[in-house]
A and B are shown apart, each in its own frame.
Chain A
Amino acid sequence: MKIRAIAFNTFKEAIRDRILFLLLFFAAVCIISSRVLALLTVGDRVKIITDVGLASISIFGALMAILMGTGLVYKEIDKRTIYTLLSKPIHRYQFLLGKYFGLVLTLFVMLVLMTLIFLVLIFLHAFRIEWAMFVAIIFIFFELCLITAVAMLFSCFSTPILSTLFSLSFYLIGHVSWGLETLIEKIHSGTVKTLAQILYTFLPDLENFNFKTEIVHNLSIPPKIFLYSTFYGFFYTAFILVLAMLVFRRRDFI
């Protein structure tokens, strides 16, 4: 009940943020411009629209998660609204979870809006909708849940600018770290292989949530990959949230 009250209040606050709607506007522009891009391209135009559309949803969703998430806790501390809130009979973890779920709810609504624009565009072009696209979008949502948790973790102890830099780094590293996996396969043995393995274990691999290529090119995906990605997302997000709670638990609000 307490978490729900904070979550709904966070949602109310977030949907009043102009940055959110600015990003939604640019996301819509990008998704719609994929139609123009498709006209200029040789090949299956639906594939181009799907590819650009899903990429736009993913990138703008991540930007929303980072820009909103990094101010999530910091704003409460900066505006001192946290004083009255934490003086009430609530645990600090309940406050954090409330803030987190509030933003996740906001991102869900934004994702639904972006998806609607995307689907309308696809339908107007091809007069059919590939339901497999929803799989890609669901995993984009899982990725956003994780990025939100990371942004909130940084927001617990850092300023919004630094938190944004850290979170963007997390996002970028997360999308290139799969290169390490290839490197590990290529190296036969030795210290470099061990180091690469250790590094790959700790670095995020956000490509686990990327099924855009498979969906666009109608490739089959084994169910165990879905299962692995779901578990990866769930446990990584839970780990980051626990970390945020630990950081927040003993923090002084001066």
Chain B
Amino acid sequence: MDTVLRIENLHKSFKTGFIPKRKKILKGLSLEVKGGEIFGYLGPNGAGKTTTIKCILGLIFPDDGRIEIFGHPHLSLKAKEKIGFLPENPYFYDYLTATEFLRFYSDITLVKKGDRQSQIDRLLDMVGLKHATDLQLRKFSRGMLQRIGLAQSLINNPSLVLLDEPLGGLDPLGRKEMRDVIVKLKEEGKTVFLSSHILQDIEMICDRVAILVEGEIINQGPLQDLISEKVLFTEVTLSGVERDDLGGLGEPYSVAGERILLRVFDEDKVEEVLQRVKEKKGKIHTLIPRTETLEDLFVGAVKSK
């Protein structure tokens, strides 16, 4: 796969405070995003995720380093023609209706006049806003704003879509719909750069991830390579057995009524637990082997930093 976005040794600092003092935000960041993938850009708040995206878009200028988009310098119009961007907590011209808003962006991106209306209709349909074409943006809910924001990011049919916290502030249904649209973009052959700290969503849809902590990437690669498939522990929910009877087999994690959630760290002891429950005429409700999750990886990485 071709490299769509290449960042090399990116440095950025800002002056802060009454007596200006330089604060380093990005410290020699390098990463590559391949064509057709969903790239998850993870990091705690203040790690430098949005700063990286702003550097890519030319909204701020790096102190040092190089950014290339499809082989072009990131500030060139050729590079910008190929990207779409949805900012975090997007604010738009709220006096415009959804159609006027998209028409404005299609004028700026020089979408062909003949294709303009069909492109607008297609995008409004794709993000589920066909019912709100003539509604002013000031009457939009948070989720609707996020969706119209996504539509504007796609108005010029970009090959690389940068999404900054697109799932933040959305309800579970909204998050699912947004995830579905992102996956659909991938199916259409687009590359998605997804910055987020909602790990479950990243884990569900991303092919590769990079973890950013304090301006440095401390881990990056394909998700399956980063997350070990080794079973960390097995969670067993059981009932009809006294807590004391399970001594030495695992760690009773929580007790709700008769049910006990037991964490068994030794795989060999899982069999023993089953045997013990059988002897006591108890009942097994669930038995789930837990492998490492992105959350474990993320928390471990942040803590080690």
Contacts and interface: CB of A to CB of B under 8 A. Distances in A.
A13 B59 contact: no
B116 to A, nearest CB: 12
A89 B107 contact: no
Interface string B71-101: 0000001001101111101111101100000
B261 to A, nearest CB: 45
B93 A87 contact: no
A12 B92 CA distance: 14
B108 A86 contact: no
Contact of B110 (A1, A82, A250): A1
Contacts of B105: 84, 88
Contacts, number: 79
Nearest to A4: B107
Contact of B80 (A5, A12, A87): A87
A80 B162 CA distance: 16
B58 A86 contact: yes
B87 A2 contact: no
Contact of B83 (A12, A82, A87): A87
A90 B110 CA distance: 10
Interface string A78-99: 0111111111111100000000
Nearest to A90: B108
A85 B156 CA distance: 13
B80 A88 contact: yes
A86 B81 contact: no
Interface string B52-67: 0010011111000000
A64 B188 CA distance: 49
Contacts of B86: 84
B109 interface: yes
Interface centre among A2, A6, A89 (most CB of B within 10 A): A89
Contacts of B87: 80, 83-84
Interface string B7-41: 00000001000000000000000000000000000
A84 B156 CA distance: 13
Contacts of B80: 87-90
B166 interface: no
B237 interface: no
A88 B59 contact: no
Size bin of chain A's contact surface: 20 to 34
A79 B91 contact: yes
B108 A2 contact: yes
A169 interface: no
Contacts of B90: 80, 84
A83 B59 contact: yes
Contact of B59 (A1, A9, A87, A90): A87
Contacts of A88: 80, 105, 108-109, 156
Nearest to B78: A89
A250 B63 CA distance: 12
B59 A252 contact: yes
Contact of B91 (A2, A5, A81, A90): A81
Contact of A253 (B60, B149, B152): B60
Interface string B101-113: 0001101111000
Interface in B146-177: 149, 152-153, 156, 162
Interface in A113-161: none
B107 A1 contact: yes
A254 interface: yes
Interface string A89-111: 11100000000000000000000
B13 to A, nearest CB: 11
Contact of A86 (B14, B57, B93, B96): B57
Nearest to A252: B60
A2 B152 CA distance: 16
A5 B57 contact: no
Contacts of A254: 14, 54, 60
Given A13-B95, A81-B93, A253-B54, A6 B108 contact: yes
A12 to B, nearest CB: 7
A9 B93 contact: yes
Contacts of A82: 59
Given A5-B107, A254-B14, A84 B152 contact: yes
Interface string B251-286: 000000000000000000000000000000000000
Contacts of A85: 108
A16 interface: yes
Contacts of A6: 108
A243 to B, nearest CB: 19
Given A2-B108, A5-B107, A80 B60 contact: no
A89 B59 contact: no
9 contacts: A5-B107, A6-B108, A12-B95, A81-B92, A81-B93, A84-B149, A84-B153, A88-B80, A252-B59
Interface of B: 14, 54, 57-61, 77, 80-81, 83-87, 89-93, 95-96, 104-105, 107-110, 149, 152-153, 156, 162
Task: Enumerate the 10 nearest inter-chain pairs by beta-carbon distance, A residue then B residue, closest first.
Answer: A5-B107, A87-B85, A89-B80, A252-B60, A87-B57, A253-B59, A89-B77, A89-B81, A83-B87, A79-B91
